[in-house]
Amino acid sequence: MPLKITRRKGSEYWYVRGTVKGEEIFESTRTTDKIIADRYRLQRENELNIEREPDRKTFTEACIAYVRKGGEKTFIEKLDETLGDYYLDEIDQNILDIKSREAYPTQSNSTVRRCFYDPFTAIRNHASKLDWIPHKVFSKPKVKRPPPEWVEIDWLETLWEHCHPKLKALTTYLPYTGCRISECINLTWERVNLEEAWAYIPKTKNGEPRTVHLPEIVIKRLRDIEQESGLIFGYTHRHSAVNAVRRACKRAGIEYKRPHAIGSHTYATWMRRYNGMDAVGLVATGRWKDPRSTYIYAHAKTSDEARKADNLPIGSMDS
């Protein structure tokens, strides 16, 4: 049977206790930290070759099942390295919080959330669907989201004067389709039809494929760089594209804007401002899956109710 950690009356240390092959094990971990004590327990179980309980699954088993089902592999290696030996039902909020910082000791909350908590949640939810464990909600590090930034057409026109053709095409494609930079750099000519004005994105962040409409200005830019096959914009990694935008901004003497601001934020802002599109309409474009994700773009257009301020009384001297 697996060992357990327990406290001994009158002692602040955690102890490992259990019976292995008829022999009782009772050892001090020499630590008051439950996480370190649990790590010691796992180490002793491995040393003693204790068989796992067949009805309890480890996090490693959950990772394997998740990947076999087609789950995203990114970040799983680090998760498995950190949590793999734990039984799924052993991992509580305290263990998760401490282990996340062992894995990513200096990274920001947003990075830790994206690289550790989000994939952990996906793996555990899949294990829950397999009836290995009951569903459970874990808290994630709080991330303060900055207000959305977008660009105006004069900013783009200034930028375009200092871009080579492929970068000019990329920075046109972003605001007129709302695509993420990762979707742009993975786009190939085989998935674009300029005659019918569409591009196909087989896998988006929300997990759904998307067919993107290409406005005339985008088609014009793409025709300037058109070739038969391969990556459209020529960048193999998002960082190389980001750095190219940064350098172009410097050459143009304008403030640098992130590709997400040039793309998603500008697309949503312009669609609301110039087309009067509401949250439901933005979701209907295929770029977002949940209307709640689009509420941050309410800044783009004053509401009908707000414009009723024009009807408020004014003094005779100002009439």
Question: Given this model, what pLDDT does residue 2 score?
Answer: 67
Question: Is the pTM here over 0.75, yes or no?
Answer: no
Question: Given this model, what pLDDT does residue 69 score?
Answer: 87
Amino acid letter at 109? N
Q: Which residue has the tokens 């930290």?
A: 33
Question: Given this model, what pLDDT does residue 276 score?
Answer: 83
Question: Given this model, what pLDDT does residue 61 score?
Answer: 87
Question: Given this model, what pLDDT does residue 316 score?
Answer: 67
Question: Given this model, what pLDDT does residue 30 score?
Answer: 87
Question: Given this model, what pLDDT does residue 163 score?
Answer: 96
Would you kindly state where each structural domain of the chain is located, as residue ranges? Answer: 4-47, 59-129, 153-300
At 3-12, the pLDDT tens digits run: 778 887 788 8
Q: What angle do CA 167, 210, 116 make, to 5 degrees?
A: 80
What one-character-per-residue DSSP string does 167-219 give?
Answer: HHHHHHHHHHH---HHHHHT-BGGGEETTTTEEEES--TTS--EEEE--HHHH
What one-character-per-residue DSSP string does the chain give?
Answer: ---EEEEPTT--SEEEEEEETTEEEEEE-S-S-HHHHHHHHHHHHHHTTPPPPTT--BHHHHHHHHHHTT---TTHHHHHHHHTTSBGGG--HHHHHHHHHHHSSSS-HHHHIIIIIHHHHHHHHHHHHTTSS-----------PPPP----HHHHHHHHTT--HHHHHHHHHHHHH---HHHHHT-BGGGEETTTTEEEES--TTS--EEEE--HHHHHHHHHT--SSSBSS--SSHHHHHHHHHHHHHHHT-----HHIIIIIHHHHHHHHHH---HHHHHHTTS-S-GGGGGGGGGGS--HHHHGGGGS---GGG-
Question: Given this model, what pLDDT does residue 318 score?
Answer: 59
Question: Given this model, what pLDDT does residue 117 score?
Answer: 95
Contact 27, 41 (CB under 8 A): no
Low-confidence residues in the chain, pLDDT < 70 = 1-2, 22, 50-54, 205-207, 295-297, 299-304, 306-307, 315-319
Q: Which CATH architecture has domain 153-300?
A: Orthogonal Bundle (1.10)
Question: Given this model, what pLDDT does residue 74 score?
Answer: 82
Name the residue among 43, 42, 12, 52 with its Cα closest to residue 28.
Answer: 12
At 172-230, the pLDDT tens digits run: 999 999 999 989 999 999 999 999 999 998 877 666 788 999 999 999 999 999 888 89
